[in-house]
A and B are shown apart, each in its own frame.
Chain A
């Protein structure tokens, strides 16, 4: 087994701040949107990639590795900055390829194993099925490694999510973890005003999952839940704040599509970041 990259919580927090800065900077340079979605899940990704998952560029083709699937593909930049930090590609590569003509890093990620992107997403609802397929394959081959799939709460409006929920518990895929970035905001409104998922935990439990509710910005709590043994597939409802760390964007509907369109706004945001 490859040794896990262990960082203490303080370091994870510091790292997440650095990655948040990257997200803001690159979003400003590229006039990118979905900033709120990326800030909402970056703490989860940081915890997974730097403290939980068995994944490094050197083992990107090893079937024993842990898999991460960003099912909510619109948070692509959060994944890119993490993969860049992990050493899958350089910062220069990221800048030269993200949202660029002929580039390889789109606004939604496309499958590219050599870049560490395990799967294509962008159309919501697909990731958990694919993750369940990988988890099933690992079980059948009796090989180690977990599969982590990050879902949006809005994404859980999709019927396919619930098909895969039923499948995973039926096939006892306890090597599969679904993390729901539960920021209670989606495209046009607060999630509870569109399709209210409550009682979300009860729904997931009734589908045969091992369900945990955590603060999605608390590294210690996240780590604890990720490391917890489970006999059923694990669902983590991570309560998050869309736009987290950027006060002007936190918990706003605008944070999904708003761009940083002026230098003044960028400088204000960078100062504000925490």
Chain B
């Protein structure tokens, strides 16, 4: 996803002199092309995320469009107050681009992985929160982010090999995307766990279980009208995210269901509210947290029986 972002940002920066890219000394083998093309608009602030957010705010006060990059935990958790006070409360045009998220950094340990960034960012006023799950989704969400003035957060995980086609023009911010139509159950998801979810949907189809899959590459805002239109009151609903149970996409959907008197049976497949200190590949960590294709499939068929 990071490479898609760099490519699209370069295209945009060619047309617009106001684009600035700031990094807290991360992004080896990714942002060099931007740096070479636009040396004046590439700012490496050093290993100083808090200062980076302040610098971004100052540039945005002079009407620049600023992109800040580091890996997810160093931005979201170290610089949360800077994000809250300097960007969100003041509604400045700064885009927070977080590398990784979830178990993207696998064996690098608990400092590099996050189970909770989407939850925390969901609470920030004015902030749009993006968690694309595929190449097409990433490209579309970047276009949406480019058009949207104001602060945004994007979780840039590893891009999956699986993808689906999107009607780009029909997407509006606040909506999800209907990836697959089906009458037997509803699956809702976001972020790059989508690759596993797509596999699950395909496998279920082979067993004659047809699921309606709704992807939310933008988890904030989500429009109530879209949910009313696309969630019926009978089907079982499965929500899948590589994020904690508290405060992420699942919470938003469950809030909607409760507040609007839906009585659907709901299963939230997500990360438990525990310390995720096991080491291993993203695949391994997903598996031990019940987010592998097999385990999700088992969970869903159990629910349908």
Q: Which A residues are closer than 8 A to B by beta carbons? A: 63, 110-111, 118-120, 122-123, 126, 128-138, 140-141, 159-160, 163-164, 166-167, 170
Contacts and interface: CB of A to CB of B under 8 A. Distances in A.
B51 A134 contact: no
Nearest to B52: A129
A167 B51 contact: yes
B55 A111 contact: no
A119 B61 contact: yes
Given A160-B51, A167-B46, A126 B58 contact: no
Nearest to A122: B85
A136 B54 contact: no
Interface stretch (B37-45, B129-137, B229-237): B37-45
A129 B90 contact: no
Contacts of A135: 58
B93 interface: no
Q: Specify which of B50, B51, B86 lies most central, judged by the most chain A CB atoms within 10 Å of its CB.
A: B51
Q: Specify which of A128, A133, A136 lies most central, judged by the most chain B CB atoms within 10 Å of its CB.
A: A133
9 contacts: A122-B85, A129-B55, A130-B57, A132-B58, A133-B57, A133-B58, A133-B59, A159-B50, A163-B48
B159 to A, nearest CB: 31
Given A129-B51, A160-B50, A118 B61 contact: yes
A133 B81 contact: no
Given A120-B89, A126-B85, A126-B86, A136 B55 contact: yes
Q: Specify which of B48, B53, B60, B81 lies most central, judged by the most chain A CB atoms within 10 Å of its CB.
A: B48
Given A136-B59, A138-B62, A167-B45, A160 B90 contact: no
B118 interface: no
Interface in B163-206: none
A138 B64 CA distance: 11
Contacts of B57: 119, 129-130, 133
A122 B86 CA distance: 11
Given A63-B62, A126-B85, A130-B86, A136 B53 contact: no
B56 interface: yes
A120 B58 CA distance: 12
Interface residues of B, number: 26
Given A111-B90, A133-B57, A170-B46, 9 more contacts: A120-B85, A129-B55, A129-B58, A134-B62, A137-B58, A137-B59, A163-B51, A167-B45, A167-B46
Nearest to B47: A163
B46 A166 contact: yes
Q: Specify which of B56, B61, B89 lies most central, judged by the most chain A CB atoms within 10 Å of its CB.
A: B61
Interface in B8-66: 40-41, 43, 45-46, 48, 50-51, 53-64
B43 A136 contact: yes
A258 to B, nearest CB: 27
A140 B55 contact: no
B96 to A, nearest CB: 15
Nearest to A63: B62
Given A163-B48, A167-B48, A130 B54 contact: yes
A17 to B, nearest CB: 33
B56 to A, nearest CB: 6
B115 interface: no
Contacts of B61: 118-119, 130, 133-134, 137
Q: Specify which of A123, A130, A134, A140 lies most central, judged by the most chain B CB atoms within 10 Å of its CB.
A: A130
Contacts of A163: 46, 48, 50-51
B82 interface: yes
A202 B292 CA distance: 57
Nearest to B63: A63
